[in-house]
Structures are given as C-alpha cells and as structure tokens.
Chain A
Amino acid sequence: MDNIHITGGIIAAVGGIGPGIGVGLIGAKAMEAIGRNPEASGKIIPNMIVAMAFAEAIAIFALLFAFIG
C-alpha cells in the first residue's frame, strides 16, 4: 500500500482543473473567432497555440510536483 502515490495523484488531479478549463476556453474563443472570419485562421491558430502553451505550463507545474512529492 506504500507504493501507491496518493498525494501525487491528488496534486496532479487538482492541479489539472484550472488549466483544463483555461485551455478549453482559449480553444472555444479561437473557434468562435475563426467562425466569424474564416480567412483569418492563419493568424488566429498560431496565437491560440502560444496561449495554450502558457495555460498548459501551470498544469505541468502541478505534474512536476506530482512526480517529485
């Protein structure tokens, strides 16, 4: 029973809530913007990827502590 990392699992699960919602919101707004103006998708998509990487960094912080702690 000692080998199961319970605290690691809790850290990763709780730390993934916020970034999950954030990435979903970014994607939703990007889809909306592309729907309004399909020709601008070449400008929207790289910015969306950058914003998603920022939001995902928080989830990676949580995952890092899940591995270490």
Chain B
Amino acid sequence: MASLAADPLFNIGPVTVTNTMTDMVLVDILIFSLAYFIYKHHKLVPGFMQAIIEMIIETFYDMTQSVAGERAKKIFPFAMTFFFVVLFANWTGLLPFITAIGVYHGEEFHPFIRSASTDLNFTFSLAVISLVATHSMSIRVLGLKGYLSKFFTLHPIHLPIGILELLLEFAKIISFSFRLFGNIFVGKVMLLSATSAFAFFLPIPVLFYEFFVGFVQAAIFALLTMAFMTIMTTRAEH
C-alpha cells in the first residue's frame, strides 16, 4: 500500500525534495523538449511527430470552438497546457521499471520518480491555478462591475442564487483536485496490489485501464477548465 504523502528523497537547504517533485521535473523536460523539437524542425509538409501534434491540437481546437464560440482563441492555450501537463504527469507513472529505481531509507523503499498526480499538493495547486485563471479572465472580459454583478445583485431571487454560486466555486476546487488525485492514486494502489499478487500477466489489464484513465482524466481537466471559462465570460442575460 503506497503512502498518501510523497516520499522525501533528499534536502536542498531547507527544502525537502520529494519524489513527485522529480517527476514534475521530468514532465517539464519532456514538454519543453517536445516544444523545442517542433519549433526547430517544423516544415510545411509535416513529418511524423509534427503530424501527431497537429492532429491533437486541431481536434482540441475544434472541440474548444464548439464549446466556447468566439472566445476560443483566448481559452485554448490554457486548456491545452493543462491537458499536456496532466497527461504527462499521469503517464510518467506508468513507464516500465520507473518504480524500481529508488533508494532505501532504513526499511522502506522510496522510488525516485512517482507520478505527480498522486500528490495532493500538485492536483490542488492545479485546481487553484485553473480557478484563478478563470476568474481573472472573467474580470478582464466583463469588467469588475460585470463580474461582481454575476454574484451579488439586488434582485431578491438572484441574490441567494448568486451567493450559492460563490460557494460553488470553492466546491469546484475540491472536486477538481480530488477527482484527479483519487483516480490516479487509486490506480497506483491497484497496480501495486495486482503486481504483488501475481506479477506476470495480471497487471496487464490494470495497466491498460490506467493508461486510458490517465488520458481521460487529463481530457476532463482541460474540458472542465474550458467549460468554466466559457460560462464565466458570458454576459448574464436578463
């Protein structure tokens, strides 16, 4: 059974580096090298890697346009970045042998790299970033008055609804973070249990399921960010 908190590896000054932080560094290296590779080698007739990236981005852009309409150009970079970060963070936990390289601290074995989404700090900060981005985009598009009039009006029916919607924003943070954390962490525990039960053929369906769940959860995070940004930037109709 894996521990809920990330395992500490070593200390740099007062900061303890845990193994999900090293996974975050790996995700950053992967994303930046992918972006740099596309930047250096992009041609008019696309090669293999460029064709895949273009296909993914075009599919998502069409989906963003069908959800968001004319504000798709502003919303799309946020949603796509969330998608790539969460996707790579989920999938690096599934690389073969990745949990076998580690260090022994006394009796316990701590792997060097552990999937970043199994750390509640990561998912919680992603949810907070998503919410802050949504609200600041809403303030920028609607103006401060329009933004506040979404929640606080003088109409007797709309005022309790507005306050309830304000509380709903906090529930969104919890829901975002716990959905991603729960899916990936429970998947990791299932994988550990399946591997310790019978290590040869039993983990294969669990691995397929985890692969799929990683992709679906990343897509849902991006889709929800997109949907909330669209809702928050539309003017309230009377």
Contacts and interface: CB of A to CB of B under 8 A. Distances in A.
Contacts of B220: 50, 53-54
Interface residues of A, number: 11
Contacts of A50: 216, 219-220, 223
A68 B183 contact: no
Dominant secondary structure of chain B at its interface with chain A: helix
Contacts of B178: 57, 61, 64
Dominant secondary structure of chain A at its interface with chain B: helix
Interface string B92-134: 0000000000000000000000000000000000000000000
Interface in A12-69: 49-50, 53-54, 57, 60-61, 63-64, 67-68
Given A67-B189, A68-B4, A53 B216 contact: yes
Contacts of A57: 175, 178-179, 182-183
Interface of A: 49-50, 53-54, 57, 60-61, 63-64, 67-68
Given A53-B217, A57-B175, 13 more contacts: A50-B216, A50-B220, A53-B220, A57-B179, A57-B183, A60-B182, A60-B186, A64-B178, A64-B181, A64-B182, A64-B185, A67-B189, A68-B4
30 contacts: A49-B216, A50-B216, A50-B219, A50-B220, A50-B223, A53-B216, A53-B217, A53-B220, A54-B220, A57-B175, A57-B178, A57-B179, A57-B182, A57-B183, A60-B179, A60-B182, A60-B183, A60-B186, A61-B178, A61-B179, A61-B182, A63-B182, A64-B178, A64-B181, A64-B182, A64-B185, A67-B1, A67-B186, A67-B189, A68-B4
